């Protein structure tokens, strides 16, 4: 029924909470990885391959945190059933 279809749409509050999570989780990971990179950089002989890997993870998390990446999976419209 139409009511059942409409009930599958997220409420504004649910949508806001989902977007906040999709953005804040990768931002937290970015901070943790940046702090780890700082610790490595403070070493007398920093491990460059490890730093490169950390920076790559930071870039991927930044891409995840972007609104363009976070929103589309959350606002897919359920298909209307006959």
Task: Say what the pLDDT of residue 54 is.
Answer: 97
Task: Say what the pLDDT of residue 7 is.
Answer: 64
CA distance 74 to 18: 7
> pLDDT tens digits, residue range 13-62?
777 777 777 778 888 999 999 999 999 999 999 999 999 999 999 999 88
Q: What is the DSSP letter of 76?
A: P
Confidence of residue 77 (pLDDT cuts 50, 70, 90): low
The lowest-confidence range among 3-12, 34-43, 63-72 is: 3-12
CA distance 3 to 77: 14
Q: What is the pTM of this model?
A: 0.63
């Amino acid at each position: 029924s139409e009511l059942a279809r409409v009930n599958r749409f997220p409420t504004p509050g649910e949508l806001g909470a989902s977007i906040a999570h999709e953005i804040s989780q990768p931002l937290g990971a970015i901070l943790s990885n940046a702090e780890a990179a700082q610790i490595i950089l403070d070493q007398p002989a920093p491990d460059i391959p490890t730093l490169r890997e950390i920076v790559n993870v930071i870039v991927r998390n930044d891409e995840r945190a972007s609104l363009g990446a976070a929103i589309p999976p959350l606002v897919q419209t359920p298909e209307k059933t006959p």
